[in-house]
Every structure is written in structure tokens, then in C-alpha cells.
Amino acid sequence: AMHARSVILLGFLAGASAFLSGPAPVAFGRTGRMALSQKLHMSTVPKVPYDGAAVTGPSGPTVPGDGDLDFLEAKPYWDQSGVTVNVAKQKNPHIGKIVSVQRMVGPNAPGETCNIIIDHDGKLPYWEGQSYGVIPPGIDPKRNKPYGVRLYSIASTRYGDDKTGKTTTLCVRRATYWCPELKADDPAKKGVCSNYLCDSKPGDEVKLTGPSGKVMLMPEDDVTQTYIMVATGTGIAPFRSFLRRLFGEANPAQKNFQGLAWLFLGVANKDALLYDEEFQVYLRQNPDKMRLDYALSREGPLNKKGGKMYIQDKVEEYADEVFDALDKGAHIYFCGLKGMMPGIQDMLKDVCKAKGLDFEEYLEGIKKKGQWHVEVY
């Protein structure tokens, strides 16, 4: 059931089939460390059926466990007045270190996507929904100047996947260019920063800027809110941080949440799903608080017109519920390639027309109320 207040989140993922359980969660006190004498009971992560590739280690599925994870909370925890931006700038970036780089898609996924953990030593704090900037090494041949900042949405909560408050996680797809003449990837045209990150090794230094952005922050003042998230590919990053905060940690938001988190995720096929095992754990443990809908464009099922199922088609299947949620105060989030938005807006226009609503007027109304959140690239 939809609740009195709602927030809508949509996302897309990539992966391969298996049955695994992730690591046991760790709960930390205010110091971010847990002494032997203070060890808390660890809850077991349930085994679940899932279609994505397994993400292991600290980035694997987690459950809240006992104790409190609250040493990075505002007071009260929903107060966003102290959210900081641009702590580190391009002229004076923070030097982080790569902790791990893990491929997170199956063999039949188009392209390669990696889960990358970076140690920021607690000196670049962020909130869920913010981004980090990465400055790749080298000189841009087009400008004959050092490369500029590339922004990446953060995929972990403020505590990091290891729950120490000292790391961040990025979800990065290696950008390549297929040359029709060579009939192969052209290395001269590959994405500079994405390849730099995906090729990095533990211990490598990385220049970081940020955190940046407040558009995608998750309001937590109403514990009955419903979050509806819509994403494509690595656009899953902010929504993975939302879901991990709501269901995977013993933080105040998780303990108080009584609303609904609804994720729409669009990818090519099951091998391209991202963080699916983790999401299936949350869904299994919180069936009344979470919904999960995937659109697999190359595998089906087909949309109602007999064509490929893209993200806008999957959302349209639930248009009445989505609009009802928005009417009750829902926040809707979009993240992914900018090419996703025309299809989304065309679908919403058609739904508005069928409901006798003026689309531009309707959209302007929910924007004024702060219910519409878009981060595309």
C-alpha cells in the first residue's frame, strides 16, 4: 500500500545468476571502531535467489544487525541544513586510495561495470545522493591541459560499505568506443576516467573532489515516505545508497522507516543487473516496505505494444500507482544516461493526457513542491 507521504526512486542494474550469501554485517559505535569487548551479535544475511553477479566483501549484501550505527548522523538525523559541498576542489583535491576494484556484471552483459571502493580517511564526508569528482592523471591532448573533473554518483551510504565512515563506493562502467572499420574497440577513444578507475589497483592514489550536489538528497523527516527510484545502468548508484541506508544498516533512518522504497531498474539483460543479490535480501526481509521492478530490454518480457521493455514502459505499467503516490506527496528520482528522460517524459505526457491533466502544469506543480529529482549525464 502507498503511504500518506511518498518518494519515488528508479534504478537500473547488471549481473549473473547464483545463490550466495554475503558477509555478516558489522555495527560500529561513535568512534567508528569496535573493540573486542564491545562486539555485538551479528545477524546472518539470508540466502536469496537472484539474477545479478555476486558482489562480495564489504560491498556484498548486509543486514542491520544489533547495536547503533549513528556516529555520522546530524541532530536530529533528518536535518540537512549542515550538508556540505566542495570540501575538496580541483586546485586542491583530496588524495584517496583505492581499496578494491571488482567486476560486478556477468559474462553476457554489454560492457564491464566495476564496484570500486576508495578510502577517503574520513576527510571527505558526504550524504546519500551526493557525488564525488575524480581527476584522472595525464594531459588532455585536446586542450593541452590536465584532465578536468569527472563526476560519479556515490553508491554507498555515508558510512561506506565497510561501515567505518572512511570509505566510499563508486559504480563505474568502463567507457569504450566500437569502431565499425576496425570491428573492435578503439583504444584511442576509450573513456579516460572510467578506464583509469576500472584499471586501478589497491593502494593506488586517486584525486578526489567534492562532495557535490543536493538535488538527489533523500528527505527523512517523514518516516512514512515512499521513495520511487528510476535508473538506467550505473544510475543505480544513488539508489543503492538509499536502499542500503533504509534496510542494510542500524542507523536511525532504518530503525524509524515505515514507508515504501520502490525501485525501477532498466538494463539490457540479467547479466547486466547491478547489486541484485543485495536488493533481493532487502526485499525478502522487508516485503511491506520495498518494491523492485526490472526492465530487461534484450530479454523481455515485451512491452504492451510488443516492443522492447525499456524503463519508461515498466513505469507505465504502474502509472496509476505512481501518480497516486505523487498526489500524496511522493518524491520521484531519476538517474542514468540523459537519453532516458525523453522516453520518460513522453510516457508521462501520455498518462497525463489519459487522465485529463496538462503535463507541463502537472510537472511544474510537483517541481515546485520539491518532489522531482533528476541527475542524468
Grade residue 29 by pLDDT with cuts at 50, 70 and 90. very low
| Residues 101, 115: Cα–Cα separation, whole Å | 6
How large is the average pLDDT for residues 270-296?
A: 97
- The DSSP bridge pattern shows strands 131-135 and 372-376 to be unpaired
Check residues 110 and 36 and name the one with the higher pLDDT: 110
Check residues 182 and 201 and name the one with the higher pLDDT: 201
pLDDT at 245: 98
Select which of 310, 335, 352, 362 is catalytic: 335
Select which of 59, 153, 156, 241 is catalytic: 153
pLDDT at 65: 86
pLDDT at 16: 33
DSSP, collapsed to helix, strand or coil, labels residue 317 as helix
The label of the residue with cell 577517503 reads 120
Contacts of 283 (CB under 8 A, 6+ apart): 48, 290, 291, 292
50 is catalytic: no
Q: What is the mean pLDDT of the chain?
A: 88
Select which of 50, 126, 132, 152 is catalytic: 152
DSSP string, 251-274: SHHHHH--SEEEEEEEESSGGGB-
For 315-355, the pLDDT digits (tens) are 999 999 999 999 999 999 999 999 999 999 999 999 999 99
| Residues 313, 33: Cα–Cα separation, whole Å | 46
| Residues 30, 228: Cα–Cα separation, whole Å | 31
Grade residue 179 by pLDDT with cuts at 50, 70 and 90. low
Q: Which residues in the chain belong to E strands, given as ranges? A: 8-9, 94-103, 113-119, 131-135, 139-140, 145-146, 150-153, 167-173, 178-179, 184-185, 205-212, 226-232, 260-267, 290-296, 331-336, 372-376
146 has which bridge partners? 139
**CB 148 within 8 Å of CB 55:** no
Grade residue 67 by pLDDT with cuts at 50, 70 and 90. confident
The label of the residue with cell 542500503 reads 244
Check residues 295 and 29 and name the one with the higher pLDDT: 295
**Whether the predicted pLDDT of 121 surpasses 70:** yes
Question: Quick one: DSSP state of residue 215?
Answer: T
**CB 161 within 8 Å of CB 59:** yes
Percent of the chain's residues with pLDDT above 90: 81
Question: Quick one: DSSP state of residue 249?
Answer: S
| Residues 53, 29: Cα–Cα separation, whole Å | 32
| Residues 159, 245: Cα–Cα separation, whole Å | 9
How large is the average pLDDT for residues 96-112?
A: 96
Using only the alpha carbons of the chain, give its radius of gyration.
20
Select which of 177, 205, 364, 377 is catalytic: 377
pLDDT at 189: 58
pLDDT at 300: 81
User: Is the whole model's pTM more than 0.85, yes or no?
Assistant: yes
171 is catalytic: no
For 185-219, the pLDDT digits (tens) are 555 557 999 999 999 999 999 999 999 999 999 99
For 225-267, the pLDDT digits (tens) are 999 999 999 999 999 999 999 999 999 999 999 999 999 999 9
| Residues 122, 71: Cα–Cα separation, whole Å | 12
Determine which of 11-20, 333-342, 358-367 has the lowest per-residue pLDDT on average.
11-20
How large is the average pLDDT for residues 270-292?
A: 97
Question: Quick one: DSSP state of residue 60?
Answer: S
Q: Which of 120, 97, 115 is nearest to 203 (CA)?
A: 97
Select which of 220, 249, 316, 375 is catalytic: 375
> What backbone torsions phi and psi does residue 359 show, to the nearest 5 degrees?
-60, -50
Percent of the chain's residues with pLDDT above 70: 85
152 is catalytic: yes
pLDDT at 352: 97
Grade residue 81 by pLDDT with cuts at 50, 70 and 90. very high
